[in-house]
Amino acid sequence: MNGIYALKPAFRNALRPLLKLLWPVHPDVLTWSAIGLSGLLGLALHWGQSWLLAVPLLALLRTVLNALDGLLAVETGKARPAGEVINELGDRVSDLLVLSGLWRWVDPWLWASVTVTVLLVSYIGILGKALGKGRQYSGPLGKADRLLLISIGALLSLYWPQTVVFHWLLLSFLPLGVFTGAFRLWSVLR
C-alpha cells in the first residue's frame, strides 16, 4: 500500500529527459529549490483566495524537483550519504513550510496535532533504514498524497470557506496519519 508513491517509477521515467538539461546542476540545488517552492506554497495557502490557484502548480513543481534531485544525484554519480540527509531534512522543512500555510485557517490544536503526526509518519519511514530494511513509503498519507490532498483542498476553498475545507482536510489527516504510521512501523518491525 504505497498511495501515490506507487507512481514514482513512471513519474521519474517521464522526467528523465530533463536530466540532460540539468546535468551540470548539483542535486542539492534542486533540493533547496524544492524547499523554496514549499515556502511559496505555504504562503499561497496562508494568503488564500486567488493565491489558491497557485497551490496545485507549486505542489507539482515541488514534486518534480523532489523526484529529480535523487535521480540527478544517482545518474551524475553525485549521490552521497550527506545528500540523503540533506534531502530528508529538506523534506521535513518543506512539510513544515507547507503546513504552516494552513495554521491561520484551522484550530491551533488541530494544526499542531497534524504537524506532529506528519513529522512522526516521516520519522517512522526513516527508521526502516536504521534496521536495514530501507526507507518505508507505505500508507495513504505520504508526501505526494498530502500535497495532492492539500491541492484539492485549495481548489475546493475557491467555492467553500477555507476554514471549513482546511478544517476537514486536516481532520482527515489524523486517522490517515495514524494508519500510515502504524503500517510503516509494522513494516519496519516485522
Closest CA to 26 of 63, 62, 73: 73
Most confident of the ranges 8-12, 109-113, 140-144: 109-113
- pLDDT of 69-120, one tens digit each? 999 999 999 999 898 899 999 999 999 999 999 999 999 999 999 999 999 9
Q: How many CB atoms lie within 10 A of CB 119?
A: 15
Instruction: Tell me the pTM.
Output: 0.93
- pLDDT of 145-176, one tens digit each? 999 999 999 999 999 999 999 999 999 999 99
**Domains by residue range for the chain, with CATH:** 3-189 (1.20.120.1760)
pLDDT of residue 4: 82
Is residue 1 pLDDT above 70, yes or no? no
pLDDT of residue 183: 94
Closest CA to 54 of 188, 151, 170, 184: 151
Is residue 130 pLDDT above 90, yes or no? no
pLDDT of residue 79: 92
pLDDT of residue 44: 98
The answer to whether the beta carbons of residues 65 and 123 sit under 8 Å apart is: no
Q: How many CB atoms lie within 10 A of CB 16?
A: 11
> Per DSSP, which regions of 44-168 are E strands?
none
